[in-house]
Amino acid sequence: MVAALNKLTRLGVGVSPWLVIAGLLYVGLFVKPEPVGSTVIPTAIEARDRFYGLVNPEPQVLWAVAADGKIVRSDDAGQSWQVQDSGTNVHLQDIAAWDSQKAIIVGNTGVAMYTENGGQSWWQADAPRNDVVNKLLDVKVFANGEAWAVGSFGTIIVSHDYGKSWKYALEPDDYILNEITERKDGALVAVGEFGTILLSEDRGQSWKNIPSTVESSLMTVDFVDAQTGIAAGLDGILLKTSDGGHSWQRIGNQFANLPEAKAAPGVPNASSWQDVTTEHIFTLRWHPLQERWYGAGSKGLWLKADADGSNWRAGRLAPKDLSWHTSIALTDNGVIYTGRNIGRWDGTRWQVYQSR
Amino acid sequence: MSENLASWLIRFRVWVVGVVFLATFAMSFSAVKIDVKTVFQDLLPSDHEYVKTHNEFKDTFGGSNLVTIMVEVEDGDIFQPEVLGVVNNLTRELQKVSAVNPFQIISLASKKLKEVKASTEGIETKPLMWPEIPETDAELQELREKVLRNSLVYGPYVSEDLTSTLITVDFIDRLLDYETAFEEINGLVNNVSVPGVKVRVVGDPILYGWVNHYLPETLNLVLLAGLILVLMLFVLNRTWRGTILPIISGAVSAIWALGISNLMGIHFDPLVIVIAMLITARAVSHSVQIITRFNEEVEQIEDGSEEAGAAAHSTLSELLRPGMLGIATDACCVAVVALSPIPLLQKLALLAVVWVGTVAISSVLLTPVLLSWVKHPRGYAHPINVSWLMHRVLDLCHWVVVSRMRYVMLIWTAIVFLGCGYYALNLKVGDANPGSPILWQDSAYNLDSAAINEKFQGADRMFIVVGGDEENLAKKPEVLKSLQEFQRFIEVQPEVGGTLSVSDILPAVNRTLREGNPRFEELGSTQDINGELLYMFEAGAEPGDMDRYVDTARANASVTLFFRDRQGETIRTTIARIKEFVAEQNLDGAEYKLAGGLIGVIAAVNEVILSGQLQSIALALLVLVVLCTLVYRSSMAGMFFMVPVVLSNTVTFSFMAYMGIGMNINTVPVAALGIGLGVDYALYICDRIKQELRTGADDLTAIERALHSSGKGVMITAFVLIVSVLLVYQSSLKFQAEMGLLVALWLTVSAFTALFVMPAMAYIFKPAFIYGDRQDAV
């Protein structure tokens, strides 16, 4: 028994070196480790993002849409952001919401999407498309599930079921419509390329083309009440109406020499005012509580004015921030700007939300 | 056999020595002519997929020798005439630097950085600041605005805080000489004497330029180390022969090795000086072993009949086996490095094998032959005697074997092995820290590199190619869209500071066409529209202007990735993410090709090293085991001698992991040589035990004698070499310093194992190849 065990041990001792040699040979010939990288988790807001549309249906909620089909939402006034799955990678141009649950998005290729659960799922709506070019640029929502969207090729479409189905409200034509808005008495006004201004006082049944005396593009329009409104556009053009949009006048004279802008943050030299007035204005909003106009545009422009379109002030959000912004939201603690970046401006300080 | 060879060598000693010295004399002519330089092409594994892409596209999309110069102001921003003047001057002067590609000098002052403007005639592209630099406040302000709104400039070429701007310059690889480029560019940079303006330079030509710059210092350190070596040998050995002969054998083998390498057309990379030291250390330690043995043999000769020849003869015949076996394992282990597809490593392996091979002649054969001439073998050259101290230590070694400590020693060895083995798993492939591992963190180069990477998206670049054979593939909307998605995906990684491709340019042109409306900042929907956009951007362009983005046939487009560091982990993660992205792409006719530029090339080298790492360790061990098994005709001998090797390597690898020294092209050969290195000392001691047992000594006496003879040689060489190698730690090159430290550690561990662990192991296990066919032997 002991002898057998001894024999076994001897055998083991004799064999093990060869096992080691075989093992080394195997490793030497066949084992090739592959590189393994570490995991990287994307942030909600990335350096490459371009946010075109923004809405804040509730005080804490910020909801923005961006290029490449990106949707982000913050439920804590911009402290943290979550990305929502849009199911598309086309550029999304605008978002509008009835509340924090129901919203619609429009964008390139004529895409229109809606949600009823705060964006947990987005569904494609069947929006009509023309044969030439489809690009929806702006959307607005009104009571009882009504929604209006405008875009390229003179598109005006309307929905009455919270964005599920859409139909044309105007024959297409060869110009771009950039924004549609509601006069406070329910009439609709749309502005666009070549100084186009359309007015409908019968909720879209018929549209009247208003001569605007300007030829460059109008990007934005909004109303204080049923009478007073302002439209703005490229190269700093500003038009004012006091008769509900039937006639428009250039505002410009008051603009010529406004001292405040020179002292505005980030505008170090005297020539900057000239610069600001000629910058593109992409959006202009009436703030009913503060009774003031706010605007944004290219090269980090901010704009402010009194209700009657006087006392304009402008400047740059930050000295070295020449980002463009296409959309603003007026909240209790400042104006949220979205565009090349996304951030909050409280009138003196510009704070960009998390990039990198 | 060793008897016959020994007799023959001693009989014809005049001829032997004559031939060796004549050969050495002849070789020295060739040796002094050896080229000391880093050859860039040798660093690349040319068959690797990435390197193929790199070589195919480097002339278009940017090589790996890009030099980045940052002009930085202390006060205000760069928009001051003096500062812009510096940029302008440097940009022009750079054209005169040797091997510069004049079409690839990019800065604010070059024609390459342009603005696209819509005008009444359509679209207009104009250089930002060429040919005149702005002078008036208004002009300066205008330039500032132009920069701020140009995302191809603001960020990539002008820092976000506007306090610094970059000049990048690329070279024609085949004409490039690192040293010349370094000198000429440094000359330009040092000429800038505008107060408040600081100029920083990084790039591989600069990095290797610094290595060359420190070459004289390195050589001085090596000479000093040699001097200390001589001094200590003299003190410890107390004889002239013990001092001069090791040096002769070191020198002879070095001359032969360098001479033969030069004849074979191999040049000497300044970074591998450590390897040279390591091999010279082998030569010295073999020689010291032989001299120690000779001294003993002399002791045994009766007074009055002192005959050095006989002592030399028996020394030679007794030490031939362990000496040659040690050399053979060294040579074979380092030869394994030649399996790597990297030419530098192949050449280095060849150099090392030749060098180690020459040690066989210069130490094992030449030293005893020279010893046979010794006149007064019993005399000492000076009265200082420290051998009592050495024998104290050797007594301690013996006590370990005799006492129960031998078991404790074995258990401790096992614990150290397991602990270090586990920790060594942290050893990283690639660079372990930001900045270059060749230089110290606080070196000018690494400070410059850190400053540039902080202000900009990253100085080191990689390019990825998307395309195929078909012309105009790079204008296809799906290709461009895929590029865009790729850039977005890859920029998520924080170490990737930014990316640049043609897909960034076309949307910007499109937006300009659409009255500057950002809602139209998008790619064209058809190939024709994209072609149109590209055409508009190109209007008025010069040859080479589009090179960074697309090739001439528009069949291939590139994405340039800017890296903030070149750590192995960063690169691995990026490559893995790129592959993850590419796997999901299905582009008709076009495909993604990885990866060019400096980071692409480093990625290839790292992958090669990673994949070959285990292989080379396993094969080197295999060679060692097989050689020992053959020589001692016992498979147990192979196992037995694996112990010191595995132990010294795990300790060293864990030390590398602890110090943050990564496995890269420079450290791999040192590591491979270390495997062969670990076994020499153990071979001498165990072989001596075997010999003593054969002469009839009992087990413990045999070990005692072996320790006090071979063990003394081990102690002397280990101590002397460790001290001189540590001197290299003063080097301005961090790499040299760390390698010096590593070699010292290797020597310490293998000497310690040979003196304290191996005798204990031999006594406990009694392997048959030492103890013969005894009943209790294994």
pLDDT in tens, B254-288: 999 999 988 988 888 877 787 888 888 888 888 88
Mean pLDDT along residues B320-327: 87
Residue with the larger pLDDT of the pair B691 and B40? B691
Domain count, chain B: 4
Within 8 A of B504 by CB-CB distance, chain A residues are: none
| pLDDT for the residue numbered A260 | 37
What's the alpha-carbon Rg for chain B, to the nearest Å?
32
Mean pLDDT along residues B577-589: 87
| pLDDT for the residue numbered B1 | 66
Q: Exposed/middle/buried for B759, CB within 10 Å: 0-12, 13-18, 19+?
A: buried
Judge whether residue A268 has pLDDT over 60: no
Please report whether residue B219 resides in a domain.
Answer: no
Residues B341-376 as b or e (16 or more Cβ within 10 Å = b): bbebbbbbbbbbbbbbbbbbbbbbbbbbbbbbebee
Alpha-carbon gap, residue B54 to B465, rounded angstroms: 9
Within 8 A of B139 by CB-CB distance, chain A residues are: none
Nearest-Cα distance to chain B for A264, in Å, is 17
Contact A67 B642 (CB under 8 A): no
Report the complex ipTM.
Answer: 0.87
Same domain for B381 and B394? no
Whole-number percent of chain A with pLDDT over 70: 92
Identify the three-state secondary structure at position B667.
Answer: helix
Q: Does A93 touch chain B (CB under 8 A)?
A: yes
Nearest-Cα distance to chain A for B438, in Å, is 23
Q: How confident is the model at residue B302 (pLDDT cuts 50, 70, 90)?
A: low
| pLDDT for the residue numbered A255 | 47
Contact A35 B516 (CB under 8 A): no
Q: Does A320 touch chain B (CB under 8 A)?
A: yes
Residue with the larger pLDDT of the pair B49 and B43? B49
Instruction: Name the nearest CA neighbour of B106 among B54, B148, B158, B150.
Output: B158
- Condensed to tens digits (0 to 9), the pLDDT of residues A81-95 reads 999 999 998 999 999
Contact A32 B629 (CB under 8 A): no
| pLDDT for the residue numbered B775 | 62
Judge whether residue B304 has pLDDT over 70: no
Judge whether residue A161 has pLDDT over 90: yes
* Best of B496, B519, B571, B621 to mutate (most A CBs within 10 Å, chain A): B519
Please report whether residue B161 resides in a domain.
Answer: yes
Restricting to B residues 430-489, those with a Cβ less than 8 Å away from any Cβ of A are: 481, 484-485, 487-488
Judge whether residue A47 has pLDDT over 60: yes
Nearest-Cα distance to chain A for B606, in Å, is 9
Instruction: For residue B229, give the DSSP letter.
Output: H
DSSP bridge partners of A223:
A229
Judge whether residue B142 has pLDDT over 90: no
Contact B629 A67 (CB under 8 A): no
| pLDDT for the residue numbered A254 | 46
Mean pLDDT along residues B2-26: 88
Identify the three-state secondary structure at position B423.
Answer: helix
Same domain for B174 and B203? yes
Contact B572 A46 (CB under 8 A): no
Please report whether residue B315 resides in a domain.
Answer: yes
Alpha-carbon gap, residue B286 to B294, rounded angstroms: 12
Q: Does A215 touch chain B (CB under 8 A)?
A: no
Contact B521 A36 (CB under 8 A): no
Alpha-carbon gap, residue A231 to B640, rounded angstroms: 90
Judge whether residue A328 has pLDDT over 90: yes
Same domain for B416 and B471? no
Same domain for B325 and B422? no
Contact (CB, 8 A) for B129 and B123: no
Same domain for B537 and B656? no
Judge whether residue A267 has pLDDT over 60: no
The one-letter amino acid at B356: V
- Condensed to tens digits (0 to 9), the pLDDT of residues B599-639 reads 999 999 988 888 887 888 888 888 888 888 888 888 888 88
- Condensed to tens digits (0 to 9), the pLDDT of residues A227-260 reads 999 999 888 888 989 999 999 988 864 444 443 3
Within 8 A of B606 by CB-CB distance, chain A residues are: 35
Nearest-Cα distance to chain A for B747, in Å, is 24
Whole-number percent of chain B with pLDDT over 90: 19
CB pairs under 8 A between A and B: 136
Q: Mean pLDDT for chain B?
A: 86
Judge whether residue B387 has pLDDT over 70: yes
Residue with the larger pLDDT of the pair B297 and A179? A179
* Best of A322, A326, A352 to mutate (most B CBs within 10 Å, chain B): A322
Please report whether residue B225 resides in a domain.
Answer: no
CA distances from B571 to B426, B430, B561, B562, B598 (A): 17, 9, 11, 11, 11
Please report whether residue B41 resides in a domain.
Answer: no
| pLDDT for the residue numbered A272 | 40
The one-letter amino acid at B713: G
Within 8 A of A192 by CB-CB distance, chain B residues are: none
Same domain for B639 and B589? no
What is the domain range of residue B598?
454-603
Judge whether residue B594 has pLDDT over 50: yes
Judge whether residue A266 has pLDDT over 90: no
Please report whether residue B440 resides in a domain.
Answer: no
Q: Does B78 touch chain A (CB under 8 A)?
A: no
Same domain for B545 and B676? no
Please report whether residue B617 resides in a domain.
Answer: no
Q: Does B158 touch chain A (CB under 8 A)?
A: no
Domain CATH for B264: 1.20.1640.10
Instruction: Output the CA torsion sign for A28, B566, B741, B215.
Output: positive
Please report whether residue B626 resides in a domain.
Answer: no
| pLDDT for the residue numbered A103 | 95
Domains, in order of start, for chain A: 45-142 (2.120.10.30)
Contact (CB, 8 A) for A127 and A166: yes
The one-letter amino acid at A31: V
| pLDDT for the residue numbered A253 | 46
Same domain for B532 and B660? no
Mean pLDDT along residues B85-99: 90
Alpha-carbon gap, residue A68 to A352, rounded angstroms: 21
Instruction: Name the nearest CA neighbour of B568 among B596, B609, B597.
Output: B609
Question: Is the full-model pTM beyond 0.90?
Answer: no
Alpha-carbon gap, residue A302 to B357, rounded angstroms: 78
Same domain for B459 and B333? no
| pLDDT for the residue numbered B122 | 65
Judge whether residue B40 has pLDDT over 90: no
Question: What six digits make up the tokens of B745?
Answer: 């550690």
Q: Which of A17, A25, A275 sits opposite B635 (nearest CB)?
A: A17
Judge whether residue A139 has pLDDT over 90: yes
Q: How confident is the model at residue B19 (pLDDT cuts 50, 70, 90)?
A: very high
Nearest-Cα distance to chain A for B453, in Å, is 15
Mean pLDDT along residues B476-484: 90
- Nearest 5°: phi and psi at A48? -85, -10
Q: Does B148 touch chain A (CB under 8 A)?
A: yes
Alpha-carbon gap, residue B473 to B527, rounded angstroms: 9
DSSP bridge partners of B464:
B559
- Condensed to tens digits (0 to 9), the pLDDT of residues A194-219 reads 899 999 999 989 999 998 878 888 99
E strand segments, B447-549: 460-467, 496-501
Same domain for B363 and B309? yes
Whole-number percent of chain B with pLDDT over 70: 97
Q: Which of B484, B491, B611 sits opposite A33 (nearest CB)?
A: B611
Query: B154-158, B296-300, B318-322: lowest mean pLDDT where?
Result: B296-300
Same domain for B379 and B405? no
CA distances from B520 to A70, A355, B128 (A): 16, 23, 24
Q: Which of A36, A216, A356 sits opposite B494 (nearest CB)?
A: A356
| pLDDT for the residue numbered B305 | 60
Same domain for B361 and B391? no
